[in-house]
Structure 1
Amino acid sequence: MKNLSAYIILGFSLLIISCSNHKEKDNKTEIPNLTNKVVLSSEINWEKLNPARGDSSPQAGTIWGDRKGTVATGFLAKFVDGFSSPPHIHNVTYRAVVIRGEVHNDDVDAENMWMTPGSFWTQPEGAVHITSAKGEENIAYVEIDHGPYLVKPISEAFDNGEKPINIDASNIVWLNTNKTNWINSESKAEISFLWESKDLKGTKGLFVKLPKGYKGTIKSNGSIFHAIIVSGDLNYTLPQTGETKSLDAGSYFNAKDKAIHSISNSFDAEVIVYIRTNGTVKIN
């Protein structure tokens, strides 16, 4: 009887190992071309956003793309406390998210409306505006659909028909698993859909909110996937090496093809991530 029990235990153990190996094999073969990449905020290279202003210029750190080229680009803009730009325009429309500090972006005569981390705004090309910032550290994520990103005088202002959008973090509308099928039924994550462009073949931007204690995956199926940590800290495990990296606000992860992003939030606050993609995502 003892020998029989030993054989049963041995067989059961082998079954578990077999299933585990099969699952591991499936995970490896599900995504044959691993393109996952991580850039930490500490690895960002900073330069002058508007060199013509010299030392008064905000700083810029390109995350993806080429701010000086013609391609779509995402970069961080850093402002000193008390910064206020002169009235100006841009040659391209941009979208932006406040990551640290407080930012005001509006018409020249508008009263200050300080947007806090997690706020979202858009600035149409050709429209006259100013940008101000207050706080010990002020950083915004900025993205353009094509470049180069230039600052121009108000004498070249024009109306392209777009209207600016300013959404404070407190006015973001969040959807849970009962409102969208992009979230697994067992997940407590939430999504806010911010924009979508038909001209860019369905490219869209969204916020994802991950609660304290979250551990799971974000599956993406597009050829474009850029994710910026807006607030909080996130652990990200690279599938190529198994290495786990801690991403703070301003850090970035991406993929150039279908991918599984293994992430967890073991910290004391929720995490908000901004995602730009031309596909769909599934949060498990």
Structure 2
Amino acid sequence: MKYINKITRKTTLILLAFGVGACTSIKTETHTSENIEHPTNRVVLRSDIVWEKLNPARGDNSPQAGTIWGDRNGTAPTGFLAKFKDGFSSPPHIHNVTYRAVVIKGLIHNDDSKAEEMWLPSGSFWIQPAGEPHITAAKGEENIAYVEIDQGPYLVQPTNEAFDTGARPLNVDAGNIVWLGSKNTSWIAPDNQAEISFLWESDASKGLKGLFIKLPKGFSGKLESTGQVLHAVVIQGELRYKIPQTGTLKLLDAGSYFSSEGKAVHTITTDSESEATVYVRTNGEIRVKAAK
């Protein structure tokens, strides 16, 4: 995966448009049917997340962290929420592993300690490579980001332990996200107002990729997935999610999560007055279909 540092709005648009080109032509013959004999769907509500200190060494000054999937202190890939107080600003530091993050609420600044502040609003995306010195700051009544790592543990370390992997940070403001509709990608079924944005993709051996799915107001339909794993976090808006094992409807607000293993169907609806954005991490294909 490549990282780009200090890029302009125009350059960001060009890079993202170029980056999604390979994904838009992916065939969809392998997409799953609607009947799954043994569904693996799972839901975690934001209200059920257990919060703890992200960096215990900082005591009460530490941001809060709530693990959604995986184990932040172990070696497995992990996704968690990070919560920052208004006015929070970390000292310069590094991490032992690369992480990706999406702003859910509030404003987040993540950059070199000497860089001019660039506040990323909800729906923005950034990548912080391992070993790269930086600071993280937040402002707003409620500041929450979704963070994921490909391998743990996730550690905060001093800048005198900095190292250079050759990767560079990437900050993408929500206004710079490039959205594709059904006319541009087969991952959105025809006659469907949903949109998708391909954010990153790992090497072909793993096949992992991250993307946004934006669902319009009043959407009712299904998200079909074929990957061995799918992790999805609500970034903006709310979803009503039907759990196939029980038929129960769950209201997923921003920060809530749903997942599956193997072929799966996720039945979802949005509010008639607001759209919703979901971040998805998967190693398979996605197909978004509106109800007939």
TM score, norm. by length of structure 1: 0.89
Q: Please report how far the alpha carbon of residue 256 of structure 1 lies from its aligned counterpart in structure 2 after TM superposition.
A: 1.3
Preserved contact between residue 126 and residue 157 of structure 1 (Cα < 8 Å)? yes
Deviations 1:202-232 (A, max 9, x none): 1000000000010000000111100000000
Which residues in structure 2 correspond to 1:254-273 (within 5 Å)? 254-273=259-278
Q: Please report how far the alpha carbon of residue 199 of structure 1 lies from its aligned counterpart in structure 2 after TM superposition.
A: 6.1
Corresponding position of 1:112? 117
Deviations 1:118-147 (A, max 9, x none): 000000000000000000000000000000
Give the helix-richer structure, 1 or 2. Answer: 1
Corresponding position of 1:280? 285
Corresponding position of 1:71? 76
Corresponding position of 1:230? 235
Does residue 132 in structure 1 map to residue 140 in structure 2?
A: no
Select the structure of larger CA radius of gyration: 1
Q: Please report how far the alpha carbon of residue 200 of structure 1 lies from its aligned counterpart in structure 2 after TM superposition.
A: 5.6
Corresponding position of 1:249? 254
State the distance in 2 between where 1:255 and 1:248 align.
18
State the distance in 2 between where 1:201 and 1:127 align.
24
SS in 2 for 1:96: strand
Which residues in structure 2 correspond to 1:86-101 (within 5 Å)? 86-101=91-106
CA RMSD of aligned residues (A): 1.0
SS in 1 for 2:196: strand
State the distance in 1 between where 2:167 and 2:272 align.
40
Preserved contact between residue 233 and residue 267 of structure 1 (Cα < 8 Å)? no
Which of 185, 195, 202 does residue 197 from structure 1 map onto?
Answer: 202
Q: Write the letter of the residue equivalent to 1:178.
A: K
How many residue pairs match? The answer is 257
Provide closer, same or farther for how the CA distance between residues 49 and 269 of structure 1 changes in structure 2, counting only shifts above 3 A: same
State the distance in 2 between where 1:273 and 1:35 align.
19
State the distance in 2 between where 1:206 and 1:245 align.
23
Q: Write the letter of the residue equivalent to 1:46.
A: W
Q: Write the letter of the residue equivalent to 2:73.
A: K
Does residue 157 in structure 1 map to residue 162 in structure 2?
A: yes
Q: Which moved more, 1:58-67 or 1:265-274?
A: 265-274
Q: Write the letter of the residue equivalent to 2:50.
A: N
State the distance in 1 between where 2:206 and 2:55 align.
31
Which of 142, 146, 155 does residue 147 from structure 2 map onto?
Answer: 142
Q: Write the letter of the residue equivalent to 1:245.
A: K
SS in 1 for 2:278: strand
State the distance in 1 between where 2:156 and 2:204 align.
24
State the distance in 1 between where 2:263 and 2:55 align.
36
State the distance in 2 between where 1:277 and 1:267 align.
28
Q: What are the ranges of 5 or more consecutive residues in structure 2 without an aligned counterpart?
A: 1-32
Corresponding position of 1:103? 108
Provide closer, same or farther for how the CA distance between residues 71 and 220 of structure 1 changes in structure 2, counting only shifts above 3 A: same
Q: Please report how far the alpha carbon of residue 201 of structure 1 lies from its aligned counterpart in structure 2 after TM superposition.
A: 1.2
Deviations 1:230-258 (A, max 9, x none): 00011000011111111000000000121
Which residues in structure 2 correspond to 1:200-215 (within 5 Å)? 201-215=206-220
SS in 1 for 2:218: coil
Q: Write the letter of the residue equivalent to 1:31.
A: I
State the distance in 2 between where 1:159 and 1:33 align.
45
SS in 2 for 1:159: coil
State the distance in 1 between where 2:61 and 2:206 align.
38
Ranges of 4+ aligned residues in structure 1 off by more than 2 Å: none
Q: Please report how far the alpha carbon of residue 266 of structure 1 lies from its aligned counterpart in structure 2 after TM superposition.
A: 2.2
State the distance in 2 between where 1:122 and 1:62 align.
19
Taking only the aligned residue pairs, the percentage that are identical comes to 63
Q: Please report how far the alpha carbon of residue 33 of structure 1 lies from its aligned counterpart in structure 2 after TM superposition.
A: 1.8
Deviations 1:137-170 (A, max 9, x none): 0000000000000000000001100011000000
Preserved contact between residue 67 and residue 149 of structure 1 (Cα < 8 Å)? yes
TM score, norm. by length of structure 2: 0.87
State the distance in 1 between where 2:99 and 2:63 align.
16
Does residue 82 in structure 1 map to residue 87 in structure 2?
A: yes
Which of 117, 122, 127 does residue 122 from structure 1 map onto?
Answer: 127
Q: Please report how far the alpha carbon of residue 186 of structure 1 lies from its aligned counterpart in structure 2 after TM superposition.
A: 1.4
Q: Write the letter of the residue equivalent to 1:231.
A: Q
